[in-house]
Structure 1
């Protein structure tokens, strides 16, 4: 039996080459690890995946509350007998109290103090809130009454032949005075509920005859009459 052949010992140069290869491999692995940590290539792939958007259902309490559209104030329909209506600067509000008669003054107004034979008197109403607070009042033609008298004789009343009267609630500011938007013209004839045909009415005498105008609006009458003369 032959003796085993002794292993050949490598030269130091071989060992140095092997250690260099191992060292280079470790450096390459470390470089790859560092690149992965810095570059983070997986982020680009993740950003390409669409993220579903969650639609939120609005809370019921967040819905806008519809505001009530104010209905336009009724506009009185002009008639031959009663068409003027005071023109306050504001419409009525539901939280404002109605006017009290003691806080309202009403005045009968004529456009002249005397009228020639070919002139017809024109009447208006002046309304004043003498109270310290705003108040509401119905100033429509349903509440307006113009009355012309001569002595104790009632010659003409605006409601005798009034057609299609209407309501109009307005707000009168404290201290505010308003007047009729348009005058009411008297044709100088006697009125009656059964003589609405003006051609058949009796004509009021002239020649300097004295007449008086009284008015009422919203249930409040004028404190005094206004005198005028017809010629």
Structure 2
């Protein structure tokens, strides 16, 4: 370092130099401190910004996931509804129309070919929908059974003569479906509205038929023996 020159004593010049150097050191320290603070402030701001971006990205991803899930659920629901509608449409049967006389057939049966006088012969009948589509009919009273002499000339008994008709009961029969009914004859005569005296029917050959409105079955023979 150069020796100080001047009219003043050397100590004065050394003090001035020391003071100047001290001011420079303090100024440098302040500058370094400011730079450090600015640098720290920038790092902190960057971290917060990064956190906000991450948070925003996470939220957006969650919202996107929820939206996709709801869309998937709605699509699934719509597909299920469409599938159910298609299944219902595929399995839905056409509406039943009234059964015409031509769409039904009656068959009568006798439980056994021969009964003794005083027995109670049992009969059965089957109604069949012989059409190719379902149909409906009031079968509340059901078919009636009628007993005739074997030649069909004399009507002896009918199941509805002394029995009041039952309440209406609509039945729907699918194509080819059958309904069965049973009846019992007490072995006596009868007349419409249960008029007149009921008399025992003697031994002999007879036949039974079933009727449903205008529909009539083929006759089935049977015997009463002593």
TM-score range, shorter chain: 0.5 to 0.7
Distance 1:13 1:196, change over 3 A: farther
Give the superposition deviation at 1:229. Answer: 0.8
Report what 2:157 is aligned to.
Answer: 156
Partner of 2:220: 226
What secondary structure, in the 3-state scheme, does the structure 1 residue paired with 2:97 have?
coil
Cα distance between partner residues in 2 of 1:191 and 1:175: 35
CA distance in 1, matches of 2:169, 2:194: 28
Q: CA RMSD in A?
A: 3.0
Q: Choose 130-139 or 153-162, whichever is displaced more.
A: 130-139
Per-residue CA deviations over 1:108-148 (Å, capped at 9, x if unaligned) read: 2211111123531111211222222222222221x522211
Tell me which residue corresponds to 1:125. 125
Shift of the 31–196 alpha-carbon distance from structure 1 to 2, 3 Å rule, reads farther
1:196–1:19 distance in 2 versus 1, CA, 3 Å: farther
* 1:20 is aligned to 2:29: yes
What is the CA–CA distance in structure 2 between the aligned matches of 1:115 and 1:227, rounded to whole Å? 12
Match of 1:205 in 2: 202
Structure-1 residue corresponding to 2:177: 176
- What are the residue-to-residue correspondences of 1:20-59 with 2, within 5 Å? 20-39=29-48
Distance 1:145 1:164 in 2: 10
Q: Is the 8 A contact 2:126 2:178 kept in 1?
A: yes
Of structures 1 and 2, the one with the larger relative CO (CA 8 A, separation 6+) is 1
Write 1 or 2 for the structure with the bigger share of helix. 2
If you compute each CA radius of gyration, which structure gives the higher value, 1 or 2?
A: 2
Contact 1:99 1:135 survives alignment (8 Å): yes
| Structure 2: segments with no counterpart, 5+ residues | 1-15, 53-92
Looking at structure 2, the residues matched to 173 and 129 of structure 1 have their Cα atoms a distance apart, in angstroms, of 7
Q: Distance in 2 between matches of 1:13 and 1:196?
A: 146
Q: Deviations over 1:84-107 (max 9, x none)?
A: xxxxxxxxx882222232232111
3-state SS of paired residue (2:27): helix
Aligned residues: 167
Whole-Å Cα distance in 1 between the matches of residues 104 and 189 of structure 2?
A: 30
Structure 1: distance between partners of 2:45 and 2:195: 106
